[in-house]
Structure 1
Amino acid sequence: MLIERTRNLFGLLVLGLLVACKTPPPGPDPDPAPGALAVTVIDLPAGLPAAVRVTGPGGYVQDLAQSQTLVNLAPGEYTVTANAVPGSGLTYLPSAGVQLAVVAPRATAHASISYTGVTFRLGIQQVATLPGAVFLASPPGDPRQFIVEREGLVHIMENGVLLSTPFLDIHERVLSHGEGGLLSMAFHPDYATNGYFYLYLSDKLHGIVVARYRVSANRNRADADSELVIIRIQKIGTTHNGGLAGFGPDGYLYMATGDDGGTGDPYRNGQNLDSLLGKVLRIDVAHSTQGERYRVPPSNPFVGQEGKRPEIWAYGLRNPWRFSFDTNLLYLADVGQAVREEVDISSVTQGGLNYGWNIMEGSICYDRPTCDRTGLTLPAFEYDHGHGCSITGGYVYRGKAIPELAGHYLYSDFCRGFLRSFVYTGSGIAAPTDWLISGAGNILSFGRDADGELYLIASKGAIYKIIRTSPSR
């Protein structure tokens, strides 16, 4: 009897296993239905656009200037980031800077943002004076500020005090005539562990050089003998050198070069894809050695195309004077010839863009009544020479000291010395603001420290920190 029951139980168990094998349990829907997200914006004056960004799965990014329902969204978690909006005499602060919204299939999630107007002003505070200063940067997470001097030195400012001994002195390798010199530095994202930093300079033979150096055992001194030239680009003249190298969010090193000068790009470099001048370049320096200084990312737009340099990421530039990244966007300021100054804004995934020089200067045809604009990318923002003559590109503010300024791109002009900003919404420019600072003089460059706070560097060596001059709410 016991044996018979055991046989029956065993038979039922085998039958159950067979059924389970034939009918697998239901899994997740391989293609779930889309959902929606309704973003509501209230309490902004009529005609004043909001500054809201929505990010989500798969690299989704959408900028909003008003209430809107986003449809056909992949289910998942979305982040709604609202930035302050400058108005006439007031700055409007969002009720919630960051919100999370979960979008479910066939359902609509909701996020609501209300704004409150407060009095808000910016000012500048001088923190140092260093004749020849042209750039300021900090390694990730480092409280020190490194100040680049055009003649070929790098100094450290720590706790508001300039250290007496330079961090690096390579003045004998630098040609500082014309627009040349040591023009910027960039710290490797892993500087804290590998000690690498990169300098952008013009050398004694009129070449643009980007070279890697390493910090010594003393954290406040670099090893001047550790130089590894990553790339060198020969020029003819001493103007239109560009002047910046920096790491993008993709980990690659970007460089912005000028067209080699002269009126109207006489060497025809801007549109020449066999030249590295008048371009944004993108290279991989993760494994740089004496034998292989850099690699070309396989996703660069002109890889494998005959007669086109694979290092090129974008082209059609005259004299790009400072670029910066903000999340997935590249902001690039290009100095105009005689009429327009421009800021070009693009996604970091958009390689191969042609910004138009010398076919166009800004959004107008250069030196001709008409021109073919086919395939050209026009500026996201521009101003004419009634408002300045040489743009100085800056940064999108992401610091903590001035939360009302979050999301605003700050820029200046060498001739006018103003401090202005705007918000890029993805579809246009919003909240243009003149912060009405005075006394700084000609502005050579912006700087940014590890906390995201911004600085202005004036032509006579004065270094200013941008601060709020109105009480916080």
Structure 2
Amino acid sequence: LLGNMFPQGMNLLELEEPAANHNGGQLLFGVDGYMYLFTGDGGKAGDPFGKFGNAQNKSTLLGKVLRIDVDGKNPNGKPYSIPPDNPFVSDPKARPEVYAYGVRNMWRCAVDRGDPVTKKGRGRIFCGDVGQNRFEEIDIIVKGGNYGWRAKEGFECYDTKLCHNSSLDDILPIFAYGRNVGKSVTGGYVYRGCESPNLNGLYIFGDFMNGRLMALQEDKTSKWKKQDICIGSTRACAFPGMVSSYSKFIISFAEDEAGELYFMSTSYPSAYAPHGSLYKFIDPARRAPPGKCKYKPVPVKTKSKRIPFVPRASKLLETVLELLNEPSTTKPPKKSSTPTAAIPTVPSKKAKKTPFTKTKASTVKTASGKKRQKIKAEVKPHKLKQEDKVAPISRTTPAPPLPKRKSSHLTRTKKLLPKKGALAKEKLEKRRKEGRLSSSF
């Protein structure tokens, strides 16, 4: 949206931060069309800046929830205007952008799209505010609200002097948990999807440091009660058993057009992790009936020129071919499209292929620039002689080896031996008879 509004990359707002940490974590548009910005308190520990800290100082933009109108024009030359109903527009000691204050480092906020039928809860903004060293909290943002930091952390005092100030009038979180549960909250969304009916109305969030997924359910008295989200079965859900089933460090949540929820996590605790995993929430215990969850995407109006996406089919094809032709020292033989038949093989010193198979080699150029040969086998039908016919061979069992044929000269020798023996015997008998005759004289 920002790219459509400001195609030339115009800077909306710049903040100077006294420390490197606590950089906040969200930009979003509310149902009122205004942009909400959530800023950290400036960094370090305990918000040590100034007499009361940045979060309690309405004259600075740090430690705040800001609201601006990116479509409006400002006579002072700023690229945004101030919504006329912002709570501190008439306070000369406050910045007019401030919508709420007293926050430490809100990491991930979301707008509730409301119940699909009754629209109850629509427009509420939920945030996870990371604590100092004792409590993590979940807040619902209210116009002009003071969320207590640095006077309070969660439900308890952090700065005793500020905490006992009667003019604080801070808004308590809807839920807070201690370090025995988690160490760094990651705000999520209220589930308003269709595919998992058991999750309807639950505010689902997590913890960045221990991978725990949690949910808050609102009762009739507008109080929120915590429950764990079970993935798979009760046994899999038992903490910490399910931590090992996905990447542990939950860095953010997401919502699609249909209201289905996702979360993103990394394999080690850093926002600079080079890669991570994306998971979708699916309740296996109860699923919506097939065909019920159809939805029509809402068309988005754009001010800049839309550039159609044209996939580079040739590049994609080359990549696919490269992947298919990858490691292949033990590549299985390619199956022929023709029915399998038993073909007698004739050993040859020059080649191992059968005389009935014709091969075609073609060169395929891959994305890496290397050339690979693709060999295609074509089996031609051949009429077998009666003595060459053999029994069909199963695909699963190897064919028995054919008996080796002996060379032709040995065969001829064997056939000639009986004749030579008979002639020799006849000659011997003839000589014996002649000998007998000569001895009688």
Q: Structure 1 length normalisation: TM-score? A: 0.50
**Partner residue of 2:164 out of 361, 366, 371:** 371
- Give the helix-richer structure, 1 or 2: 2
CA distance in 1, matches of 2:81, 2:68: 6
On the 8 A contact 1:354/1:376 being kept in 2, the answer is yes
| Aligned-residue offset at 1:235 | 1.0
Aligned to 1:421: 215
| Aligned-residue offset at 1:304 | 2.1
**Partner residue of 2:48 out of 258, 266, 273:** 266
Q: Please say if 1:309 is aligned against 2:103.
A: no
Aligned to 1:294: 80
- Amino acid paired to 1:421: A
On the 8 A contact 1:214/1:226 being kept in 2, the answer is no
CA distance in 1, matches of 2:283, 2:174: 27
Q: Please say if 1:242 is aligned against 2:57.
A: no
| Aligned-residue offset at 1:470 | 2.6
Aligned to 1:430: 225
Report how many aligned residue pairs link the two structures.
252
CA distance in 2, matches of 1:449, 1:471: 20
SS at match of 1:286: coil
Cα shift readout 1:300-333 (whole Å, capped 9, x = no counterpart): 1100211100100000010000111211322111
Cα shift readout 1:265-292 (whole Å, capped 9, x = no counterpart): 0121110100101000011112369944
- Amino acid paired to 1:468: D
Q: Please say if 1:256 is aligned against 2:46.
A: no
CA RMSD of aligned residues (A): 2.2
> Following superposition of structure 1 onto structure 2, how do residues 36-435 of structure 1 map, counting pairs within 5 Å?
197=1, 212-214=2-4, 226-267=8-49, 268-287=53-72, 291-326=77-112, 327-346=122-141, 350-368=142-160, 371-372=164-165, 374-425=168-219, 427-430=222-225, 432-435=227-230
Aligned to 2:402: none
On the 8 A contact 1:282/1:297 being kept in 2, the answer is yes
- Amino acid paired to 2:80: Y
On the 8 A contact 2:107/2:130 being kept in 1, the answer is yes
- Structure 2 unaligned blocks of 5 or more: 113-121, 231-236, 268-275, 289-441
SS at match of 1:393: strand
On the 8 A contact 1:213/1:228 being kept in 2, the answer is no
Cα shift readout 1:198-229 (whole Å, capped 9, x = no counterpart): xxxxxxxxxxxxxx3239xxxxxxx9x62121
CA distance in 2, matches of 1:342, 1:464: 24
CA distance in 1, matches of 2:61, 2:177: 27
Cα shift readout 1:19-61 (whole Å, capped 9, x = no counterpart): xxxxxxxxxxxxxxxxxxxxxxxxxxxxxxxxxxxxxxxxxxx
SS at match of 1:404: helix
SS at match of 1:228: coil
CA distance in 1, matches of 2:42, 2:54: 8
SS at match of 1:353: coil
SS at match of 1:213: helix
CA distance in 2, matches of 1:354, 1:237: 23
Cα shift readout 1:73-92 (whole Å, capped 9, x = no counterpart): xxxxxxxxxxxxxxxxxxxx
CA distance in 2, matches of 1:288, 1:399: 37
SS at match of 1:417: coil
CA distance in 2, matches of 1:291, 1:213: 20
Q: Structure 2 length normalisation: TM-score? A: 0.54
- Amino acid paired to 2:191: Y
- Amino acid paired to 2:281: I
- Structure 1 unaligned blocks of 5 or more: 1-196, 198-211, 216-222
Cα shift readout 1:326-350 (whole Å, capped 9, x = no counterpart): 113221110000000001124xxx4
SS at match of 2:198: helix
CA distance in 2, matches of 1:242, 1:337: 14
- Amino acid paired to 1:412: G
On the 8 A contact 2:207/2:250 being kept in 1, the answer is yes
The percentage of counterpart residues that share the same residue type is 40
**Partner residue of 1:466 out of 257, 273, 281:** 281
On the 8 A contact 2:198/2:286 being kept in 1, the answer is no
| Aligned-residue offset at 1:247 | 0.6
**Partner residue of 1:443 out of 244, 250, 275:** 250
CA distance in 2, matches of 1:345, 1:361: 15
Q: Please say if 1:453 is aligned against 2:282.
A: no
CA distance in 1, matches of 2:67, 2:194: 30
Aligned to 1:11: none
On the 8 A contact 1:239/1:260 being kept in 2, the answer is yes
CA distance in 2, matches of 1:430, 1:386: 18
Aligned to 1:18: none
On the 8 A contact 2:40/2:63 being kept in 1, the answer is yes
| Aligned-residue offset at 1:455 | 1.1
CA distance in 1, matches of 2:159, 2:68: 34
